[in-house]
A and B are shown apart, each in its own frame.
Chain A
Amino acid sequence: AQKITQTQPGMFVQEKEAVTLDCTYDTSDPSYGLFWYKQPSSGEMIFLIYQGSYDQQNATEGRYSLNFQKARKSANLVISASQLGDSAMYFCAMREGQANDYKLSFGAGTTVTVRA
């Protein structure tokens, strides 16, 4: 079964607007971590934000915030005030179990195109 599901293959957003990228996950482990990465056309995977399963507050990093809804097993990424440089593919990933479990499961990704 898919551990990470990203249902939006592609999205368009107007510059300066906010965009929400959906991510749902599947795990029975009470301890896990959720990650978002950005992959521009150059190919490099850039770490954006992390949310631990026991974190009480939603993670934020600059214009990125993670809308963590534990009961729904949802970890949506919100990008505020979109910029042209935000055009890229975005991947949601999960680490199950305690830290040092090493393996990340990645979703299929969502392509975001920011329009001027």
Chain B
Amino acid sequence: SQTIHQWPATLVQPVGSPLSLECTVEGTSNPNLYWYRQAAGRGLQLLFYSVGIGQISSEVPQNLSASRPQDRQFILSSKKLLLSDSGFYLCAWSVHGGTDTQYFGPGTRLTVL
């Protein structure tokens, strides 16, 4: 069966510091991968998605970037965090074809101080 991991689970970072969040998927090959951000009590905002290694599409211009160095690894980064980057970051995967059902990881709660 497929599983998706995210780490760290929680993170507190000062403004201006760098960021690296990692997401890995097990049990499937060539998944579509997604990064979402959720502000407190709100819905999800799609940040990036990837259909293959090195292929990244950005949905929202921002302070963040994403990379996919391996088939089942998706990384969210920032060179300098802003206060507005605080939130709950969720990684998700889906199979090519089918219904596009996305399956989510446990998330990373980021607080920028």
Q: Residues of A at under 8 Å CB distance from B?
A: 33, 35, 37, 42-47, 50, 52, 91, 95, 99-104, 106-109
A33 and B100 within 8 A (CB)? yes
6 contacts between A and B (CB under 8 A): A33-B99, A35-B101, A43-B106, A45-B107, A47-B103, A102-B32
Known: A45-B92, A102-B49. A95 touches B106 (CB 8 A): no
- Give the top 9 A-B pairs by smallest Cβ distance, nearest first: A45-B104, A106-B43, A43-B107, A106-B44, A108-B43, A44-B106, A95-B100, A99-B100, A50-B99
B51 at the interface (CB under 8 A from A): yes
Q: What is the size category of the interface that chain B forms with chain A? A: 20 to 34
Cross-interface CB contact of A99 among B59, B98, B107, cutoff 8 Å = B98
How far is B90's CA from A73's CA once the two chains are assembled, in angstroms?
28
The interface residues of chain A lying within 8 Å CB-to-CB of B96 are: 100
Chain A residues near B46: list those with CB within 8 A. Answer: 103-104
Inter-chain contact A45/B90, CB cutoff 8 Å: yes
Q: Nearest CB to that of A6 among chain B residues?
A: B43
Most A-side CB within 10 Å, residue of B94, B99, B101: B101
How close is B90's CB to chain A, nearest CB, in angstroms?
6
| Other A-B pairs beyond A44-B106, A102-B34, A103-B46, 4, CB < 8 Å | A45-B107, A91-B44, A95-B99, A102-B32
Q: Which residues of A contact B49 (CB under 8 A)?
A: 102-103
From known contacts A43-B88, A99-B99, A101-B100, infer whether A107 and B43 are also in contact, taking CB-CB under 8 Å: yes
Residue of B nearest to A45 (CB): B104
Report the minimal beta-carbon distance from B41 to chain A, rounded to whole angstroms: 8
Contact A42 B106 (CB under 8 A): yes
A104 with B100: CB separation less than 8 A? yes
B105 adjacent to chain A (CB < 8 Å): yes
